[in-house]
Chains A and B, each alone.
Chain A
Amino acid sequence: MSTAVTQKRSFGAVLWDYLTTVDHKKIAHLYLFGGGLFFILGGLEALVIRIQLMQPQNDFVSAGLYNEMLTMHGTTMIFLAAMPLILGLMNAAVPLQIGARDVAFPFLNSLGFWLFMFGGLILNCSWFLGGAPDAGWTAYAPLSTTSPGHGVDFYVIGLQIAGAGTLIGGINFLVTIINMRAPGMTYMRMPLFTWSSFITSVLILFAFPALTIGLFLLMFDRMFGSAFFDVSLGGNEIIWEHLFWIFGHPEVYILILPLFGVFSDLFSTFAKKRLFGYTAMVFATMLIAFLGFMVWAHHMFTVGLGPVANSIFAIATMAIAVPTGIKIFNWLATMWGGQIKINSAMLWALGFIPTFTIGGMTGVMVASVVADYQYHDTYFVVAHFHYVIVGGTIFGIFAGLHYWWPKMFGRILNEKLGYLTFWTFFIGFHLTFFIQHFLGLMGMPRRYWVYLEGSGLDTGNLISSIGAFFMAFGVIVFFYNIVYTAVKGEKAVDDPWDGRTLEWATASPPEHYNFKQVPLVRGLDPLWVEKTEGKGTMTPAEPLGDIHMPNGSFLPFLMSLGLFIAGFGFIYHMDYNWAYILLFGGMAMLLGCMLTRSLKDDLGHHIPKEELEREAD
């Protein structure tokens, strides 16, 4: 509300606002904050790894601590940094892009965030409580079932809680995109970011339950003495690998597809052209998602599933290169003949294309079973997945942040600092990971603590470590840029990029109800349609009237806190009897909050028409 902007609010009021908010734009802020925090932690862990490997037989960290570092680096970056940052972008942009006032389930949206946050916290509490998980981010049994101490227990409980939050977020976006689109916003008029968020949500919905079950089995084996992975009682460890990768492979597409959407929106905006091959892009995304479920066993080529199974999975894997290639060519064709404007956001998008293409090419290499026996568990694979995850996901997140920052915070990120971040990070990235292809081909295995002198790995590792510091520098500049922009940044207008989609048709940052009147969509790139017809603003689809908005609630925070407390109960109930108090107390808190939510009517509130008219002045 306009009065709220002018009044300075106390810190406590702001904090309480964020703890109870169900507004998708504020939840986006929370996701970005949480994801950013864990991104720093994961980055520090990566630096420790690179310092340890900087020279042969280094003793910067012990072998055990090194295992914890590499496990937590992978787990943190995937589940606690990349996922929430993506969900943050989705929260920030998707409802605006479809012309909605909020998501379908604002309460669940908030619950999803707090579950992620408390899951991440519990995982990182392990550092202070006897040691972090050390069985790799894949936690293969029996390494994970026999790992001493509580490290892996923290992994199980933390990911279980955070994963539940992600699943909730996925369902929320599916329903939002199906039910809440503005009049005229047909499926084939949705911006590519909305499309890819939609398809990603399908992946989340069908992939995360497999992780949930895998984690439950691991939890039962570790905490309740069951025998799923205990061979002496008839168990089978390969079940974990299957469940983990049935989740894990779709997960990598969950990580990349939304950013494909970001790049598509960016290329058409900054080339001032309609996206080339829109329909092909949509169907390529669907095809990637579909094939993404059919290829999990390519992570298990060396397990010994047999030549037939290996061949089928290899061919399915290589098939994914086709829709991905369609996308690459469509992006290039979008820029072809366009009026290209290069800024920080566009730089990340331009840097993405060659980087990701290299990652895709090595992807086809490791998809070949025969060759994979050579690549498996070497630095070649490490280089491959960093090229796709950093070169695709992280570049995409940076691009999306630069692109939507004005919409989210009302200020434009500083361009000079943006350039500095991009170039140091981009050069540092290739310095770190390109050489790792060759280290892998020379036989350096991943996850090893030290390597011997004179095995030809010294220079490569030194170069790789130097690159890591360039990346760290770039990230520091980016965080400085955030602070600089918040203090001195240039105020953004509603439509700073001469945009094409609906989010640029509302204020920067938007009012909490997004659109005073829901806009009428008359084509693909709805705002651009109005601009080309000389009008420049959206036609309202409804007369000005009362707006119905959901009420804030503190329950999502309390529910997640309940699970957080119960999580410690689960972890320690084997050692101490008092832990049962935490276990049952936490669960009672969760179920009590659920019951309250179910039984107490919450009808939301109305913003009266008169107030909206006053604000127009």
Chain B
Amino acid sequence: MSDHSLNPEVMPNEPEKATLEGKNKFLGFWFFLGGETVLFACLFGTYIALRNSAAGGPTENELFGLELVFLMTILLLTSSLTSVYAVYHMKNNNFKKMQLWLGITALLGFGFLACELYEFTHYIHEYGFTFRSSAFGSAFYALVGFHGGHVTFGLTWLIALMIRNAKRGLNLYNAPKFYTFSLYWHFIDVVWVFIFTVVYLMGKVG
């Protein structure tokens, strides 16, 4: 594909799927998310099996506070919405606005990550609740930490994409890259909805 055909005068309706490479990336990434779903399903299963195995240490009900988790949920859900705006502007070929909304998405993501780090340090220092203290602790940090790791990876990916393409704008080569990032970000968001329900709500109420 010559450089010219990747920079058409008029961008097509769905720039992320305008080339065969883009189509492949789009489909391949959906399959990847399918695999990721199984990955998280296994961690959820492990967590549900071990969530009552506190081994004399702090239990779910003693640990969790819904205020912080509420804030984290708002931050991450909003960041999902802002990434939708970014893709909307990508489809209108408005690169600057896309970058702006992606920037906001990144800020919200960092906010979420900061809250999570605070939460973990709080548990460790105030309650002595660690990865090693009980099977419940192992399962909790594995599940929530895996999600947090995904957020960290996503933020690194996003910033790398934004910096790399800052000067050259949008074309048919990088549009699929931005688009797959947004898919990934929504996926992380969906996983968080389940973590919120299964870990925190069920831990407080169930």
Interface residues of A (CB under 8 A from B): 104-105, 167, 171-172, 174-175, 178-180, 205-210, 212-214, 216-217, 220-221, 224-228, 230, 232-236, 239, 242-243, 246, 548, 595, 598-599, 601, 603-604
Contact = CB atoms under 8 A, between A and B. Distances in A.
A220 B142 contact: yes
A548 B55 CA distance: 61
Contact of A233 (B31, B35, B55, B173): B55
Interface in B22-40: 23-24, 27-28, 31-32, 34-36, 38-39
Contact of A228 (B6, B138, B173): B138
A349 to B, nearest CB: 32
Interface of B: 1, 3, 6, 20, 23-24, 27-28, 31-32, 34-36, 38-39, 42-43, 45-46, 49-50, 53-55, 131-139, 142, 157, 160-161, 164, 173, 177
A436 to B, nearest CB: 34
Nearest to B3: A603
A187 to B, nearest CB: 15
Binding site secondary structure of chain B: helix
A220 B138 contact: yes
A174 B31 contact: yes
B59 to A, nearest CB: 11
A34 B131 CA distance: 38
- Most chain B CB inside 10 Å of its own CB: which residue of A104, A105, A172, A246: A104
Contact of A213 (B1, B20, B23, B39): B39
A520 B45 CA distance: 48
A235 B52 CA distance: 10
B50 A598 contact: no
A224 B35 contact: no
Contacts of A179: 20, 23-24, 27
Contacts of B137: 226-227
Nearest to B153: A591
A208 B35 contact: yes
B42 A234 contact: no
Contacts of A598: 157, 160-161, 164, 177
Contacts of A246: 42
A234 B54 CA distance: 7
Nearest to B165: A599
17 contacts: A104-B27, A172-B28, A179-B23, A206-B35, A209-B36, A210-B38, A217-B142, A221-B138, A225-B131, A226-B138, A226-B142, A227-B138, A228-B142, A234-B53, A242-B45, A603-B1, A604-B1
B55 A603 contact: no
Contacts of A209: 35-36, 38-39, 42
Given A209-B36, A225-B132, A226-B142, 14 more contacts: A105-B28, A179-B27, A205-B35, A209-B38, A209-B42, A210-B42, A226-B132, A228-B142, A233-B53, A233-B134, A234-B54, A235-B53, A235-B138, A595-B160
- Most chain A CB inside 10 Å of its own CB: which residue of B6, B20, B31: B31
A167 B20 contact: no
Contacts of B34: 205-206
B138 A205 contact: no
B26 to A, nearest CB: 9
A214 B54 CA distance: 21
A227 B27 contact: no
Contacts of A212: 39
A175 B28 CA distance: 6
Contact of B46 (A171, A213, A230): A213
Contacts of B139: 228
Nearest to A211: B42
B1 A548 contact: yes
A179 B27 CA distance: 9
A226 B55 contact: no
B31 A228 contact: no
A143 to B, nearest CB: 18
Nearest to A168: B32
Contacts of A206: 34-35, 38
Nearest to B42: A213
A105 B32 CA distance: 13
A236 B47 CA distance: 11
A166 to B, nearest CB: 11
A236 B49 contact: yes
Contacts of A214: 42
Contact of B135 (A172, A233, A604): A233
A390 B45 CA distance: 34
Contact of B132 (A227, A242, A595): A227
Contact of A216 (B24, B31, B142): B142
Contacts of B42: 209-210, 213-214, 243, 246
Contact of B32 (A171, A224, A595, A599): A171
